[in-house]
Amino acid sequence: MQPHEHIFLDISWVKSRWDLPLLHDIEQMTDEVRRFSAVGGGTLVDLTCMGIGRDPARLRAVSEAADVHIVMGTGWYRAPYYPPEIERSSTASLAALLVDDIAGGVDGVRPGIIGEIGMDKQWVQGIEERVMRAAARAQRATGLALTTHTPPSAALAMYEVFAEEGVDPARIVFGHLDNTLELDYLVAVAELGAYVQFDLIGIEDINSDARRADMIVQLIRRGHADRLLLSCDVGTRRRLATNGGHGYGHLTTGFLPMLRERGVAAEEIDRITQTNPQRMLAG
């Protein structure tokens, strides 16, 4: 299972950003998910939030055509990707919207996770705090896991907000922690009881996969295997396998062999890639 991916995504409307991903071709994305299935993949968690291209009906169509289980997220991403109504909404009303979305779903598809909920900088902006608190309250009301877009070294700042709202750290997934491969920081997050998610696998210009694999080994040796999650966060066209990129299957075909080469046992790999994400989603 890969707990942080995108199948449909549209942030092409956001001004002054370094990258403007647009994943919208249903035939191409079905092919991408079929390729994931062909290397043994069974479940993808799609964290495209409301306002940036979430498309429940087409997620269902891809899931059925590719015979892969797709879990849909809910929430709002981060500034400046919020739809205009966020500025006009209170924390309580946003929390209620999330609870309603989780309970009722859209086009017959109900969210199975809250997120990705993010920060744009390394500090919490006011409007982001409102969304984070709303997501935390929805988590408490529904029990779903809450997963984040975490800037470098920012997990503990995010955690302060979630903790004030009473969220159990065991229900929090801190995403993108492989953007900051500093052992003390990662251990501190794991010791909270939260999930440490390496989900930028394959993005070598942030950190090399070799460094990621080395850090996973160190975290396992320190007893944190049950807090680890792995994914690829495929969210740009250049990363699609049909465009010459790694695609969703890179975790299985490219990264897990690196863990095996470093002596990570099969049962530990199964724990990180199957048991942990299943537990995270199940609650």
Q: Provide block-wise average pLDDT over 10 residues at a time, the chain (283 residues).
A: 97 67 92 98 97 96 98 96 93 98 96 97 93 98 98 97 98 98 98 98 97 98 98 95 97 98 98 98 90
Q: What is the total count of domains within the chain?
A: 1
Is residue 79 a part of any domain in this protein? yes
Is residue 45 a part of any domain in this protein? no
Is residue 241 a part of any domain in this protein? yes
- Domain range enclosing 264: 75-282
217 CB contacts (<8 Å, ≥6 apart)? 259, 262, 263, 264
Q: Which residues are annotated as a binding site for a divalent metal cation?
A: 4, 6, 116, 149, 176, 233
> What pLDDT, on the 0 to 100 scale, is given for residue 12?
78
> What pLDDT, on the 0 to 100 scale, is given for residue 11?
86
Is residue 155 a part of any domain in this protein? yes
Is residue 226 a part of any domain in this protein? yes
Is residue 205 a part of any domain in this protein? yes
Q: Which residues are annotated as a binding site?
A: 4, 6, 116, 149, 176, 233
> What pLDDT, on the 0 to 100 scale, is given for residue 187?
98
Predicted structure pTM score: 0.96
CATH of residue 206's domain is 3.20.20.140
Is residue 132 a part of any domain in this protein? yes
Is residue 62 a part of any domain in this protein? no
23 CB contacts (<8 Å, ≥6 apart)? 6, 7, 8, 9, 10, 29, 53, 235, 237, 240
